[in-house]
Chains A and B, each alone.
Chain A
Amino acid sequence: MDVLLLSRLQFAFTIMFHYLFPPLTIGISMVLVHLGFMRLIRPDDRIYEQAAKFWTKIFGLNFALGVVTGIVMEFEFGTNWAAYSRYVGDVFGSALAAEGIFAFFLESGFLAVLLFGWERVGVKTHFFATVMVAIGGIFSSIWIVIANSWQQTPTGFEIREYEIHGQTFTRAEITDFWGMVFNPSTVDRLIHVWLGAFILGAFFVMSISAWYLLKNRHVEFAKRSFTGALILATVSSLLQLTSGHSQATMVAEHQPAKLAAMEGLYETQSRAPLSLFGWPDSEERRTKFAVEVPGMLSVLLHGDPEAEVRGLNDLEADYGMPPVWLTFQAYHLMIGIGMLFVATTVLATYYRMRGTLYEKRWLLWYFVFAVFPAFVANEAGWVTAEVGRQPWVVYPTVVDGTLQGGLRTSDGLSEVVTAEHVLGSIIMFGLIYALLFVLWIMILNSKIQHGPEPIAETPPDSGSHVLEAASARVDHAGSLTEAKEPPEPSEGKGAS
């Protein structure tokens, strides 16, 4: 068995599972900030508190899964990709360490207040904690996208020799920290990732809200949640059009082979077509069944239909051949879903403004299920970015016509790890993640079935009644929980 293939499979599998959660939590955190803010400025409208509590519970579940699957990623750089870690540690490591110090501590600290602080801190402090958790998620994405973007379009470094026990090796060393941070692709990719996260979070909230509306449950709660999320989804989907375009232009400039793979373009040509569908065939080196708009790719990338776009046949000698079929299909899937989202969110916004949205049952049913393509689009974006850059883990830069500084994926493997090790850990992750997935769905389902807690009868706490009201609510809720508790083990033993 091939340790390279297995390690790549393991990385792809563990990161794609991980990547279900961070965009989702970043997106939902925006909804939480909105709800927390509304709760602050309209304290008499208890529905915002109800909604904030419900979505916070869902957020907490997703966040926990993001954290545990994220620790795996940090370990895997060292366990499976030790040679890569040696090569990039000087650059990549500092971004990762900055993520720990600036993002994780902030997130995890205020997450505690967000999840468990309802009865302990005031509304303002709670809102502050909500904002801090959202900022923590954003910071985290900034550092991790910087780290990844540097590998796609490296700048601010030099290849230098270093010595261990008299032997010399080479690695990438930072020469310009801000040059590394603001490498050519960071800002474009960051905005693209954020918008993807906002869209996913908003579709997630809309999915559950639409279902309540269709079932005629928690209607007022669901309408408010849906409307807020719809605004976020519509704005983000429209902005994503611009961001996607800017992203493609940037890829064309810095990673030409990836762009050619995304478009299934084998021949270098002027009047390069934009493909809508197709089936790239790496044997015959052409894209079969292609439906294309002639000249459109040249126009989009260079603003000129006669502009030349280099194809894979030309680029292969320098950059190697990425897996074209997978890159192409993932890219087109992402674009297709993006277009669908633009159309449907605009339509729903139009109906919402006319006040007829909640009568369109077919559209609500669409939104119940549209969360799945939202997940798919985020994953497909990841696949496009990561598969399209193969066979490089650190993309080479062209200096005076020669490639410099790249690291091939096959050269990044751990020297001492065997295929058996990796296979064993893939099986372990497969089993654990399958279990996590099932538990996630089960708990999500039970939370959705249960719905938001009913709004308590007591008016919002004020003045001298604060303590009494709070303690009354705690006692009341506490007794409810205890009543539902299972019998003590002594009774259960007989049955088992």
Chain B
Amino acid sequence: MDLNLLWFILLGVLLAGYAILDGFDLGVGILHLTAKGDTERRVMINSIGPIWDGNEVWLVTFGGAMFAAFPEAYATVFSGFYIAFMMVLFALIFRAVSIEFRGKSHSQRWRRVFDFSFFASSLLATLLFGVAIGAAMAGVPLDERALYAGGFFDILSVYTLMVGVLAVALFTMHGAIYLLLKTEGDLRERLYRHAWTGFGFFLVTYLMVTILTLVTIPRATANFEEYPWAWIVVFANILLIANIPRSLFLHKPSQAFASSCGAIAAFVFLLGIALFPNIVTSSIAPDERSLTIYNAASSQQTLWNMAIVAAIGSPLVLSYTAIVYWTFRGTVRLDPHSY
């Protein structure tokens, strides 16, 4: 394995980490309007209170790693999707602000404003991430220098929007399952219903996106001929998804949560297989104009330096994450320091 491939895989790990972790707290944001009363709402917000910030760091590090490992791809994507990224920033800022500021006043109007803004920004961010993944799958117009040659609306299509809706469904379900682990009583009973609804919604969009991908993006499955072992991940994904309703039915939320985490990781893996060796695929001339993990990469020296950084840093990161999740294990208890 060469360093370029290693960094492609590590970016995938960062993306999967982000989608799994921020995925459930974005889902909690989308769901939290269904809470009844202020205490329930605070339980939901505080279920992600100590960790949402750390979850978002996965995105920041993904951005930093992409900048360092594949600067051409970073520059092309970020400048090309200017408006989309500004909207992502807008959503992320409002989300953070809503969580942080909501509990700072007891005024009901104040709290309602931030409740809505928390919901809307979580929804918008999820939708945009989905659209971005859809655009990566479908390819985008790149010119001969591999610069983005389209406008804002060129990344919006039936396909990319469908992937956006799929992301909303997936994260809503994932968030509901997460909340099953953190809540008790009446709220938890209702969350079971939300998890079922979320699963149904997810299943429908998942099947639609799968069919659309198979029909309209032949490139997406081309790599399976070369790497037949990748079928294992496809089957694992199907099994994991099937295990979600099973464990919900058996009232085993931790198993359901593990399954939805695994399914998200499998999705990211399948995205990687579909793209490889491209990072940004040109929709105009996929073979001549795409940015690959070789032509878009930094020098070997930098990739090597960063591999050392990652080798030292990853165990540390995993241990902090474990410490925090362990400290705040169990169901939510509101105390004077909660949001």
CB distance from A10 to the nearest CB of B (A): 10
A90 in contact with B71 (CB, 8 Å): yes
CB distance from A113 to the nearest CB of B (A): 6
Q: Of B145-153, B220-228, B246-254, B270-278, which binds chain A?
A: B145-153
B316 in contact with A106 (CB, 8 Å): yes
13 contacts between A and B (CB under 8 A): A71-B92, A77-B78, A79-B86, A94-B309, A100-B63, A101-B61, A120-B328, A416-B80, A436-B93, A478-B335, A481-B334, A481-B336, A489-B37
In the complex, whether A287 has a CB less than 8 A from a CB of chain B is no
Residues of A near B79 (CB, < 8 A) are: 78-80, 82, 414-417
In the complex, whether A284 has a CB less than 8 A from a CB of chain B is no
In the complex, whether B64 has a CB less than 8 A from a CB of chain A is yes
Which residues of B from 296 to 326 have beta carbons under 8 Å from A? 296, 298-299, 301-302, 305-306, 309-310, 313-314, 316-317, 320-321, 323-324
Q: Of A161-169, A298-306, A380-388, which binds chain B?
A: A161-169
B64 in contact with A164 (CB, 8 Å): no
Question: Which B positions have Cβ atoms within 8 angstroms of A?
Answer: 37-39, 49-51, 53-54, 56-57, 59-61, 63-65, 67-69, 71-72, 74-80, 82-83, 85-86, 88-90, 92-94, 96-97, 100-101, 104-109, 111, 144-149, 288-289, 291, 295-296, 298-299, 301-302, 305-306, 309-310, 313-314, 316-317, 320-321, 323-324, 327-328, 333-338
In the complex, whether A118 has a CB less than 8 A from a CB of chain B is yes
Q: How far is the CA of A332 from the CA of B49 in the complex (A)?
A: 44
Q: How far is the CA of A78 from the CA of B78 in the complex (A)?
A: 5
Residues of A near B327 (CB, < 8 A) are: 112-113, 117, 120-121
Question: Which A positions have Cβ atoms within 8 angstroms of B?
Answer: 61, 64, 67-72, 74-75, 77-80, 82-83, 85-86, 88-94, 96-102, 104-106, 108-113, 115-121, 160, 163-165, 167, 171, 173-175, 177, 414-417, 421, 424-425, 428, 432, 436, 439, 443, 446, 453, 474, 477-478, 480-482, 484-489, 492, 496
- Choose one: B101, B321, B334; the contact of A443 (CB below 8 Å): B101
B323 in contact with A109 (CB, 8 Å): yes
CB distance from A97 to the nearest CB of B (A): 4
B321 in contact with A78 (CB, 8 Å): no
Residues of A near B107 (CB, < 8 A) are: 486
CB distance from B12 to the nearest CB of A (A): 15
CB distance from A210 to the nearest CB of B (A): 24
CB distance from B235 to the nearest CB of A (A): 33
B53 in contact with A93 (CB, 8 Å): no
Q: How far is the CA of A64 from the CA of B309 in the complex (A)?
A: 26
Q: Please give 9 more A-B residue pairs, beta carbons under 8 A apart, in addition to A64-B97, A104-B61, A112-B327.
A: A82-B75, A86-B72, A112-B51, A116-B337, A121-B327, A177-B301, A425-B86, A481-B336, A485-B106
CB distance from B317 to the nearest CB of A (A): 4
B74, B148, B289, B337: most-surrounded residue (chain A CB, <10 A)? B337
B320 in contact with A93 (CB, 8 Å): no
CB distance from A167 to the nearest CB of B (A): 6
- Choose one: A83, A100, A118; the contact of B75 (CB below 8 Å): A83
CB distance from B40 to the nearest CB of A (A): 10
Residues of A near B306 (CB, < 8 A) are: 94, 97-98
CB distance from A188 to the nearest CB of B (A): 24
Residues of A near B148 (CB, < 8 A) are: 416
User: Would you list the 5 A-B pairs with minimal beta carbon distance, nearest first?
Assistant: A89-B71, A78-B78, A93-B68, A100-B61, A109-B320
A163 in contact with B295 (CB, 8 Å): yes
B71 in contact with A105 (CB, 8 Å): no
- Choose one: B57, B108, B323; the contact of A486 (CB below 8 Å): B108
Residues of A near B86 (CB, < 8 A) are: 79, 424-425, 428
A67-B53, A105-B317, A177-B305 given as contacts; is B38 within 8 A of A93 (CB)?
no
A439 in contact with B97 (CB, 8 Å): yes
B67 in contact with A85 (CB, 8 Å): yes
CB distance from A161 to the nearest CB of B (A): 11
CB distance from B44 to the nearest CB of A (A): 15
A93-B302, A94-B306 given as contacts; is B61 within 8 A of A105 (CB)?
yes
B67 in contact with A164 (CB, 8 Å): no
Q: How far is the CA of A94 from the CA of B305 in the complex (A)?
A: 8
